[in-house]
Structures are given as structure tokens and as C-alpha cells.
Amino acid sequence: MSSPAISKPVILSVDDDPGVSRAVVRDLRRRYGADYRIVRAESGPQALDALRELELRGQAVAVLIADYRMPGMDGIEFLEQAMDLHPYARRVLLTAYADTSAAIEAINVIDLDHYLLKPWDPPEEKLYPVLDSLLEAWRASDQRPITETKVVGNRWSPRSSSLREFLARNQLPYRWFLADEPKGARLLEAASADPQRCPVVITSAGSVLIQPSDSELAEHVGLAVNAEGEFYDLIVVGGGPAGLGAAVYGASEGLRTVLVERTATGGQAGQSSRIENYLGFPDGLSGAQLADRARRQASKFGAEVITTREVIGLEVNGSARTVRFADGGRLCAHTVIISTGVDYRHHPAPGVDEFTGRGVYYGSAMTEAAGCAEHDVYIVGGANSAGQSAVFLSRSARTVHLVVRGDALANSMSHYLIQQIEQIPNIVVHTNTEVSSADGDDHLERIILRDNSSGEEEKVDTERLFLFIGAAPQTDWLDGVVLRDDAGYVLAGPDLLVDGARPPGWELPRPPHHLETSVPGVFVAGDVHADSAKRVASAVGEGAMAVMLVHRYLA
């Protein structure tokens, strides 16, 4: 059982000047020591280490107070990194008068809550009122508790793999235990669960879920699965960069907005280990970080985000647009933005289907990265997502083999990624090569590579095969309602005008807006849009543009 001191929320202060640090902590303990645990650090890295430890313990952090001028890592840099560890903590910057311009800029850069000028004496007038207000706001905010969910399963179980991936992509902390190891066996015994019915999830509240569905798990771990209302200004279908961008701009501009996502926000981009060419992030960030920040930003402006709801149909009911769910539910709005993105194409080689989830994974499957340590892994694909995964896995794997059907990476991969790959000695690129089959017993053990130039085949041993083989839009649910091209991508705007003629059934006196589909009031954004750029930045831009056109339609 946790001690009272450990269970208290934390106020953390970081300052490289020992005298100032002691003074801050002294004043904090005097006022807040009874209800909060006061933690002190003397550098940004030291403070980040403390925050990581608090995160591992599942301890809430209420306020972060950082000095601006610190060597190695200034206060703004620290607070920006701390946001990823404890996004709900309130952020305060200590500055000298000469640094106020930097503090004001930080309000937009890191969503700074307040800056305090040094010295803050007397604290009763300059420090405590500020912190009282921030703590009150923190207590009243809708915080997702950092709790420990336990997952017990089998190493080569497809459902165990997909369940862990679901938790990871939704930014939900969990611990993974193997059913045939002592700790996992003890948990199953305590839960009175049959080892043959894994995976088993034990929530932080002690609930036991046997082979739960995604929606059942989502309800138990605090994700929203049902919309609060029945009618909205805007329904966004799909939570990738385009959908998240649309939700942010729609909600921030006053539209009652709901985003519907089948699995987890972020889409394919959310599975990327590192995005380095996105504007404003010169050091790069992971797709999960980008998705999490965007989701929190959308929620901040009032957009609802619901998950594990699969949309299977679209209806036009007078001025209303209705989306139908697989579970029989439905949701109505004045307008809809389709941003369902694309899925990876199915690999046709024999054995791939049999071992999917048991050594074969579509996408990055970040939860499987730990199992790649000191192993030879194979990645199929020649675009950025495959290259980013190769760079990431090369840090732990013995070798990473990048299998590319084309004759050069330059045909489909960004130049910066090609340069990185060329500098990493344990990445081997196989051009003009395909996987022709996969084989093993209870999991993947070997694959056969075929050289398309010579026709020769080579059998290689591996337990991990990651597939990034192009994209396919999942738009069958739009059959008979919205016009698409031969590949299934949604047509919009000028693409709908054939020899100047408007699409069949179009009754408005104006032509379709740029991102408007063949159904008035239904728009498209992102990768599912025909001839889209297939880049994160362009998807976000289309999401924002679609909202502008929604306003024009509603007007």
C-alpha cells in the first residue's frame, strides 16, 4: 500500500541555483506541504528523470515550476518535454524581468499557464494566489488518471498483440505479462482466469476482462465510446492527421464537433516511430506524440472524440447527414468530413495470413519492438513509413533488412530518410526483391525472398516481418452514396465535373466546393481523397480547409 506522502499529487520545482531552489521549496512546503508532495530538482534532465519515475509509479503531477535560465536545458525546453510525460500538469516559468518576452512567447509554444518574475516576495501576494488558481483549475480539469492496466497473454497470440497495440496507440499505460511465466501465472490465478482463455486484462480498478473486444476494453479504461449528443454541426469520420486537424479547427471555430474513430487517433501516422519533416519540429517527434497532442488540443476546444465505433454507412435525410455504426447506432449532423485515410494492402504471399499477429505485422507494431532486440528483422516497403520503422528498429535489432520491390528507394522515400539509412550500418536494403512465402510452426520462423531481376530465391530465418506495402482506401461504406474513383478514393470538387457537367443528383445552383464530395455537405480530407499528397502536413491542411468549406456550406 502506498504511503500518504507517495499518494499525494506532486508539485515539482526545478532551478539550477541551489539558493533559489531551496527558497522556492520552502515557500511551497509552507503553504501546500499538507496536501501535496513537494519535489525539488536542480536541472532539467534531473527533473525529467524525476517525472519519469513519478510516471512509472502512476503518481499525479499537479504543477511544474521551472526557472527559465538553466544551463544545458532551459525552462521552456524542460516544460515542453515534460508535457509529454505529464500533459495535465500546470506549467509555470520563473523569469527575470529581462526574459519576459521569452516567457510571453512560451505561452503559445508550450501552452504556458503562468510566468512569475523573480523575486516573488512576498509569496502571499505574488506566488500563492497564482498557484492557488492553478491548483484549483488542475483539480477541476478532466484528467485521465495514469493507472496501471495489466495484460496477461501468450507471446505468439494475434489477439494479445492487437490488444496491446490498441492500448499503446490510445496512449494508455499497461504492463505485459506472459501467461507461462511466474508473475503472469500468479495474476491469472488471482483473477480466477483460465490460461487457455488469454488474453486477460486486469484494470486498475480490479475488473477482470476475459478476451475483451476493443469496445469493451475501451469502456473499462476510460475511453469515450458513445457520443454525448444526437445531432451535431460536424461529424468527422476518421482520426488521422486530417481528421484531428478538422476536429481542432471545427471545434475552435464554434462548430459542435464529434470525431469518430474505429481504433485509435493518429491513423497510420500515429504508428510512425519518428516524423522528422513536419513543420515546426526540427528534432522530430513520434506519430504517437503528434496524435496525442492533437487529440488533447481537439478536446481542449470542446470536440468530442469517440473510439471503437466503426462507421458502415452514410445516409442523406433532408438537410441532415447520418452515419450508421456497425452496432446499429447512428449519429446525425449538418455536415460530415470523411477522413478515414487508408489501410496497408494485404500481402498475397502464402503463409502471411496464417502468421499475421504471430510474427507478421502490418504497420510499425511498436509494441513488438522490444522483441526485436538482437534479432534479424525484415521490413517490406519502400515509402517513408517503412524507412522510419527501419531507422527505429535498427537501434535494437541485430540487422534490419529493408525489402523493396522497386529498383531504388528514391522512387518513393524522402531524401532525408534515404541519407539516414545509408549511414546506419545494420540496415541492409534489398531492391528488386519480394517476399514470396512465410513459414513456421506456431509462429513465423522463416521467409523466402525472391530476387525479381534474376528469379533466384533465398530462404532466411526470422521471427519478425513488418509490412508497409502501399495503401488501400476503406470506402465500401460509401457505396451508392458518394462518388469514388476506380481505386476507391473519394472524388471531390473539380474532379467531379466532367466536361463542366455537375455530378449526378447534384441539385444546388453552385458547383461542389473544392473538398466537397458528390453529396452536398459531405467533404473529404487527407489520404482518402483522390490524388492526395500522402503527407502528414497536407492532410492536416486539408482538414483545416474542409472546415472552412463547411462554414461556407452552412452559410
- Beta-carbon contacts of residue 65 (< 8 Å; ≥ 6 apart): 11, 12, 13, 14, 24, 28, 92, 94, 116
Three cell numbers, residue 429 = 536494403
d(CA 115, CA 67): 10
Three cell numbers, residue 182 = 511466474
CB atoms < 10 A from the CB of 422, how many? 11
Task: Kindly give the confidence (pLDDT) of every residue in the chain, 555 residues in length, as a single tens digit, with 9 standing for 90 and above.
Answer: 344 445 789 999 999 888 888 988 999 999 999 999 999 999 999 999 888 777 646 578 999 999 888 888 888 889 888 887 788 899 988 887 656 666 666 666 667 888 877 777 788 888 899 899 999 989 887 555 445 788 999 999 999 999 999 998 898 888 899 999 988 887 888 788 899 999 999 887 778 899 999 999 999 988 999 999 999 999 999 999 999 999 999 999 999 999 999 999 998 888 887 888 888 888 788 888 899 999 999 999 999 999 999 999 999 999 999 999 999 999 999 999 999 999 888 999 999 999 999 999 998 667 788 889 899 999 999 999 899 999 999 998 999 999 999 999 998 899 999 999 999 999 999 999 999 999 999 999 999 999 999 999 999 999 999 999 877 898 999 999 999 999 999 999 999 998 888 898 898 999 999 999 999 999 999 999 999 988 899 999 999 999 999 999 998
Choose among 151, 144, 191: nearest CA to 167. Answer: 151
- Could you give all domains of the chain from N- to C-terminal order, each with its CATH number? 4-140 (3.40.50.2300), 149-220 (3.40.30.10), 231-343+472-554 (3.50.50.60), 352-469 (3.50.50.60)
CB 255 within 8 A of CB 300: no
Single-letter amino acid code for the residue at 261? E
Three cell numbers, residue 431 = 531492391
| DSSP label of 11 | E
Single-letter amino acid code for the residue at 247? A
* pLDDT recorded at residue 68: 85
The full length of the chain comes to 555
Whole-angstrom CA distances from 456 to 376, 447, 462 are 21, 14, 19
Choose among 23, 17, 88, 94: nearest CA to 54. Answer: 88
CB 143 within 8 A of CB 94: no
Choose among 514, 509, 539: nearest CA to 279. Answer: 539
Three cell numbers, residue 262 = 474505429
* pLDDT recorded at residue 87: 81
In the chain, the N- to C-terminal Cα span, in Å, equals 59
Choose among 287, 508, 501: nearest CA to 388. Answer: 287
- Beta-carbon contacts of residue 495 (< 8 Å; ≥ 6 apart): 530, 531
| DSSP label of 179 | T
Whether the bond between 199 and the residue before it is cis, its omega within 30 degrees of 0, is: yes
Q: 155-162 long-range contacts, Cβ below 8 Å, gap at least 24?
A: 155/443, 156/358, 156/359, 156/442, 156/443, 157/198, 157/199, 157/357, 157/358, 158/356, 158/357, 158/358, 159/199, 159/211, 159/357, 160/198, 160/199, 161/357, 161/358, 161/361, 161/365, 161/367, 161/368, 162/357
CB atoms < 10 A from the CB of 264, how many? 25
d(CA 358, CA 352): 10
Choose among 251, 262, 341: nearest CA to 306. Answer: 262
d(CA 151, CA 67): 40
Q: Which residue is listed with cell 505485459?
A: 176
Whole-angstrom CA distances from 15 to 27, 45, 53, 98, 112 are 14, 11, 19, 17, 17
d(CA 451, CA 466): 19
- Is residue 494 classed as helix, strand or coil in its secondary structure? helix
What does pTM read for this prediction?
A: 0.74
Q: What interhelical angle do 158-169 and 287-300 show, nearest 10?
A: 50
Whole-angstrom CA distances from 292 to 7, 321, 323, 459 are 26, 28, 25, 41
Choose among 290, 309, 486: nearest CA to 388. Answer: 290
Three cell numbers, residue 72 = 544545458
Burial of 77 (0-12, 13-18, 19+ CB in 10 A): middle
